[in-house]
Amino acid sequence: MAKSKASSFTAYIEAKQRWERRNQAIPVAGWTALSILVVLAGNAEQPMPLPDLQATSDLSFFIFAKAIKRAAVDRRAAPALLDSDCIVLAGVPGSESAQLTTLGAEVALLARPA
């Protein structure tokens, strides 16, 4: 039986480590619309006032607003949560609350880090 070379094993381990780093679950960062879904899912899928949701999701007002409802002129951006039917808003302007839809709950479940 032939002896394996240590250098080939080292190369294998290094390649495997690079592959694992590249394929790790991407954490839900504060800059993503998915983090809003995860926050809502963590709220027992109950409605949450928009100011509380923004504060909990740790997003700036601009990014938060864009994630909820994309500006009509920005067609290159990813669809907003409202456009994707992941959330619904209820209440009068200024006192609105967001709630997950069934689709939003499913997406939030998939978005959670492993």
d(CA 35, CA 105): 12
In a domain, 6, yes or no: no
- Cβ atoms of 35 and 57 closer than 8 Å: yes
Whether residue 65 lies inside any domain: the answer is yes
Residue numbers of the domain that contains 102: 33-111
Higher pLDDT, 50 or 83: 50
pLDDT band at 76 (very low <50, low <70, confident <90, very high): low
In a domain, 10, yes or no: no
The domain total for the chain is 1
Judge if pTM exceeds 0.75.
no
Here the CATH number for the domain that contains residue 66 is: 1.10.10.10
Residue 77, in any domain of the structure: yes
The band of 15, judged by pLDDT with boundaries at 50, 70 and 90, is confident
Distances (CA, A) of 103 to 45, 53, 109: 12, 19, 10
Task: Supply the pLDDT for residue 90.
Answer: 92
